[in-house]
Amino acid sequence: MARPTRRPPADTGPPPRAGLDSLGGLRDAIRDRERQRAEAEAAARAQRVRVERERTEFRRAVADAVPLPPTGRVVPAPAAVAPIARQFEQDETRALAESLSDEIDVERLLDTDEALSFRRPGVGPDVPRRLRRGDWVIQREIDLHGFRVDEAREALAAFLADCGKREVRCVRIVHGKGLGSVNREPVLKGKVLRWLAQRDQVLAFCQAGPSDGGSGALVALLRPGPPLADRVSRRRG
């Protein structure tokens, strides 16, 4: 039997250079990192030089400065502001407005003079006269012109509640003379009299003097007391 002839290996060309290429890429990466590190160090050195130069310039500029002598003055810390229960105030105002009745017989509570004066039991008879005379300075006022009855009731209740919070003592309530009403009748005047008479906060009131609105306004003296925020905090405490 004839022996098989061995064929020479096929010529595949030079061996692959993958290893050499990998080494070249590694060298490039190392050079890139070295360059980045050198740039970062140069930037840091430049920053330090700039900061030191600015410090030197500042020290040179204030070299002749003299510190102010101590005064011993102590700056007090601002007092903490007590939280205000806004929703409680709104609820209270709404409840007060709804509690004011239009049906109360206010005529029996009023003095029968031309000034329609009112004073709560325990308040001296001289108080309405002093109100008319202007012994108390009018601190705030509300004008109810153009309000519907429900709007005027709620606005007056909110006004009085705010006056209580601010410890206001004397106010003017302008209700108008009814010249623009049907039959030229002062609709709000009688209702304001009734509403004020129902508020324990109102100690006395009378018709305003000619210079303060005359028959179209009232002057009221309010009860002194703590602000509304203090009363709220005590109730919650």
Please state, in angstroms and rounded to a whole number, the distance separating the CA atoms of residues 131 and 127: 6
Query: Does the global pTM surpass 0.85?
Result: no
Query: pLDDT tens, 224-235?
Result: 764 444 444 444
Query: pLDDT tens, 10-37?
Result: 555 555 555 556 677 778 888 888 888 8
Residue 49 to residues 41, 55, 59, 60, 224, Cα–Cα distance (Å): 12, 10, 15, 16, 70
In 3D space, the residue among 132, 139, 124, 213 whose CA is nearest the CA of residue 176 turns out to be 213
Query: pLDDT tens, 54-109?
Result: 989 988 888 888 888 888 787 787 777 777 666 656 655 555 555 555 555 555 55
Domains of the chain (ranges, CATH numbers): 107-236 (3.30.1370.110)
